[in-house]
């Protein structure tokens, strides 16, 4: 029997979240590459009632410090894209935030962030999504999330072409609308300038669909 806890979650789900937040595999028993050289701090926001999921990349340094997703300039832009307030964004009963890698992966010598650790997707993500029965809309941010959620064949087109085909992807599954998005980082300012159709065509429809689910 899957007992329901006072917070409305199943006991199995609460135990899964506890295990995720206590995970130290990348530091203690890494499956790929070198051990993480800092203390892991899994960062995610999720509940079984959430109808919207943000599938992002991995926490950066500021999120690693705060322990709260998107507490940086990217988060400000993402909330603007979505047309939601801070309170709505951080309401885990409605919006889940599940990165491809739950922990800050570290940085390269040039100061850029390393890719999300592969261990997270192999150990935790399938288990987690199998226990989210109410999802109706998914924002797949960047190539890593698009590859995992939409398939490697789609992701081979590259982020620009995948996002350009947003109408096809958002209507492919009536039970779960998927919006492929570029990362909201300032690194993509040039991309946004070169692709004005993203803000004029994609965002209005995405905001409409999000608002329908938040009402």
- Enter the DSSP assignment of 138: E
What does residue 118 show for φ and ψ, rounded to 5 degrees?
-75, -20
For the chain, 215 residues long, give each residue's pLDDT as a single digit of tens. 566 666 668 999 999 999 999 999 999 999 999 999 999 999 999 999 999 999 999 999 999 999 999 999 999 999 999 999 999 999 999 999 999 999 999 999 888 899 999 999 999 999 999 999 999 999 999 999 999 999 988 778 899 999 999 999 999 898 999 999 999 999 999 999 999 999 999 999 999 999 999 98
Average pLDDT, the chain: 94
Q: What's the order of all strands across the beta sheet hosting 177-181?
A: 95-97, 52-55, 137-141, 177-181
The 10s digit of each residue's pLDDT in 115-139 is 999 999 999 999 999 999 999 999 9
112: left (phi over 0), alpha (psi -120 to 50) or beta: beta
The 10s digit of each residue's pLDDT in 39-57 is 999 999 999 999 999 999 9
Q: pTM of the entire structure?
A: 0.94
């Amino acid at each position: 029997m899957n007992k329901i806890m006072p917070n409305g979650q199943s006991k199995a789900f609460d135990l899964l979240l506890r295990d995720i937040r206590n995970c130290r595999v990348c530091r203690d028993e890494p499956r790929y590459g070198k051990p993480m050289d800092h203390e892991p701090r899994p960062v995610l926001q999720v509940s079984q009632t959430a109808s919207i999921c943000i599938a992002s990349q991995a926490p950066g340094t500021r999120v690693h410090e705060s322990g709260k997703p998107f507490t940086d300039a990217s988060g400000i832009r993402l909330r603007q894209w979505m047309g939601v307030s801070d309170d709505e964004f951080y309401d885990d009963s409605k919006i889940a935030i599940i990165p491809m890698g739950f922990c800050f992966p570290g940085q390269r010598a040039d100061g850029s962030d390393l890719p999300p650790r592969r261990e997270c997707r192999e150990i935790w993500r399938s288990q987690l999504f199998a226990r989210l029965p109410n999802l109706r809309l998914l924002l797949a941010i960047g190539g890593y999330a698009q590859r995992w959620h939409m398939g490697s064949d789609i992701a081979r087109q590259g982020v620009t072409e995948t996002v350009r085909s947003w109408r096809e992807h958002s209507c492919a599954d009536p039970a779960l609308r998927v919006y492929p998005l570029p990362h909201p980082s300032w690194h993509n300012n040039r991309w946004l300038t070169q692709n004005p159709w993203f803000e004029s065509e994609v965002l209005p429809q995405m905001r409409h669909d999000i608002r329908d689910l938040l009402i």
